[in-house]
Amino acid sequence: VATMPGERTVTVRWNASERATGYKVYATTNLAEPFRVIGVTGGTQMVFAMTAPQCFYRVTATNEFGESN
């Protein structure tokens, strides 16, 4: 996962997974807190509004069998 800061936005990008049909993007502002889903897409990037000075992202791949770890 790579992030690219923009003007009040952040672009989250990742490499495609071979058998993925979609992706879920999770975020948290504190690693002691759980990640929450902030987006679902079929592509390999999403743009979000910056809502905190620091944010951690996690992306999982999905397909007909479920969701990756």
CA distances in angstroms from 49 to 9, 21, 57, listed in the order given: 4, 25, 13
What is d(CA 14, CA 2) in angstroms, rounded to the nearest whole number? 6
**Can you give the pTM of this predicted structure?**
0.88
For residues 59 and 12, what is the distance between their CA atoms, to the nearest angstrom?
9
Choose among 56, 50, 46, 52: nearest CA to 23: 46
Please report, in tens digits, the pLDDT of each residue of the chain (69 residues total).
767 666 788 999 999 999 999 999 999 999 999 999 999 999 999 999 888 888 999 999 999 999 998
